[in-house]
Copies of this chain bind each other. A is one copy, B any other.
Amino acid sequence: MNFPLVRCIKEDGNMVDPSLKEKISEELVKKFYFHMKRIRAFDRSAKNLQRQGRLGTYAMYEGQEAAQVGSALALDTMDWMLPTYRDHGALLTHGAEMMRVLLYWNGRMEGSFHPGKRIFPPAVPIATQLPHAVGTAWAEVRKGTNNACLVYFGDGATSEGDFHEGLNFASVLKSPVVFFNQNNGYAISVPVYKQMNSESIVQKSVAYGIPGIRVDGNDIVAVYFETQKALERAKKGEGPTLIEAVTQRFGAHTTADDPSKYRDQEEVERQREHVDPIRRLERFMHKHGFENETWIKETEKAIETEIQEAIMEMENFPKAEIEDIFDHVFEIMPRSIVEQKNEYMEWIRGEKV
């Protein structure tokens, strides 16, 4: 099986193929940098909020910024994004409101959707979103548009039946979907080599007769261009692509997880030097004349302000309304729910008196 790891920027910041530089505008580099910095800052803030009891259990993505930003930036506004619980970095990049993402992790239903954006609520049951992407993308074909779908999932997700059924459907229907796998090495505590016997995830594309790309997931340039190519193929009617972005999850699975039970966290920190996607981009910027201290400072400040504002918004958001429990199950509430609601609301009011 020949699925070489596609890489544009080496760990030391040098380019694999210097001629690519033409395609990398300053604007693009700034976008890469801004979004990675932004979502990392967000991630860290959210983790801290959780520690302070201001958010519920939270899933960090630190280490996966290049994979999430690079792929998300390749999308057009009208392309759909189907995330998991760990892809809010991509979400934020595709235009989701930061305040809503925070609401989600604060147990608020108002946070699981993004009005006006083509973003699905995060899939919590593993791999279930893959078939949704197939249908969503297919509907675009039926409508005669030129929009595609990008669906995220982890290495662990490849073991579920829905992964397989989704890819098979997409391949048969030639549905314009990009299956974007973030192989971050672990499914909670289970390392990839216990998850599967195959040497790569990308080779699973062979089972469906579709193109597969294995990309260095910490190299945002490679991720971006490869995703773009896959999206173009999709939009040209050439069907789905499976992308495996090889990356790393630096932290715990979620704030409820203790990774020291199953791996050496110090080792992870040592590896960070080589694999951190932001440092890699910084080295690239440094070596290729994109460094701009003033802009970076400004950017960092702007990000900090945005995050603080989003947190304030989240915390000032109107309290959850009890009625919400009942009001959105059906468009028209059936009698059993009406009665349950009325009874409970009356009781609550009585209680409160």
Known A-B contacts A206-B1, A209-B199; the reply to A161 vs B159 at CB < 8 A is no
Q: Tell me if A207 and B209 are in contact (CB < 8 A).
A: no
Knowing A160-B161, A160-B165, A164-B161, the reply to whether A198 touches B208 (Cβ < 8 A) is: yes
Say yes or no for A203: interface residue by CB 8 A criterion: yes
Q: List 5 A-B contacts (CB under 8 A).
A: A160-B161, A168-B196, A174-B197, A198-B209, A204-B206
B159 touches A165 (CB 8 A): yes
Whether a CB of chain B sits under 8 angstroms from the CB of A120 is no
0/1 per residue, A153-174, Cβ < 8 Å to B?
0000011111111001001101
Smallest Cβ-Cβ distance to A170: which chain B residue? B197
**A239 contact set on B, CB distance < 8 A:** 197
Q: How far is the CB of A249 from chain B (nearest CB, A)?
A: 21
Binary contact track A76-116/B, C-beta < 8 Å → 1, others 0: 00000000000000000000000000000000000000000
Which A-B residue pairs are the 8 nearest by beta carbons?
A: A161-B161, A164-B164, A171-B197, A198-B209, A204-B207, A207-B207, A206-B206, A197-B209
Closest CB of chain B to A233's CB: distance in Å?
14
Interface residues of A, dominant DSSP: helix
Q: Which residue of the partner chain, among B160, B194, B198, contacts A206 with CB atoms under 8 Å?
A: B198
A210 on interface, CB distance cutoff 8 Å = yes
With A204-B207, A207-B198, A208-B196 as given contacts, are A168 and B172 in contact (CB-CB < 8 Å)?
no
Task: Say whether A45 faces chain B, with CB atoms less than 8 Å apart.
Answer: no
Q: A195 in the interface, Cβ–Cβ < 8 Å?
A: yes
Copies in the complex: 2
Tell me how far the C-beta of A63 lies from the nearest C-beta in chain B, rounded to whole angstroms: 25
Mark interface residues in A192-235 (1 if CB within 8 Å of B CB, else 0): 00111111000110111110000000000000000000000000
Chain B residues near A168: list those with CB within 8 A: 158-159, 196-197
Identify the closest chain B residue to A173 (Cβ).
Answer: B197
Smallest beta-carbon distance A192→chain B, Å: 11
Query: Smallest distance from the beta carbon of A23 to chain B beta carbons, Å?
Result: 31
Q: How many Å from the CB of A140 to the closest CB on chain B? A: 19
A183 CB → nearest B CB, Å: 14
A171 to B132, CA, bound (A): 28
Measured CB to CB, the closest approach of chain B to A264, in angstroms, equals 23
CA distance A204 to B207 in the complex (A): 4
- Whether the Cβ atoms of B172 and A195 lie closer than 8 Å is yes
Shortest C-beta distance, A153 to chain B (Å), equals 14
Expressed in whole angstroms, the Cα–Cα distance for A167 and B347 within the complex equals: 54
Closest to A203 in B: B206
Q: A22 → chain B, closest Cβ, in Å? A: 36
Complex contact A171–B159 (CB within 8 A): no
Contacts of A197 in B (CB 8 A): 168, 171-172, 174, 208-210, 239
Nearest CB in chain B to that of A200: its residue: B209
How many Å from the CB of A171 to the closest CB on chain B?
4
A196 to B205, CA, bound (A): 12
A122 to B172, CA, bound (A): 29
Which residues in B have their C-beta under 8 angstroms from that of A196?
A: 168, 171-172, 208-209
* Residues in A120-174 with C-beta less than 8 Å from chain B: 158-165, 168, 171-172, 174
Considering the complex, give the chain B residue whose CB is closest to the CB of A172. Answer: B197
A203 touching B207 in the complex, CB below 8 Å, given contacts A161-B160, A164-B164: yes
Given contacts A159-B168, A198-B207, A206-B206, 14 further A-B contacts (CB under 8 A): A158-B168, A159-B165, A160-B161, A160-B165, A161-B164, A161-B165, A164-B165, A171-B197, A172-B195, A172-B196, A197-B208, A199-B209, A204-B206, A206-B207
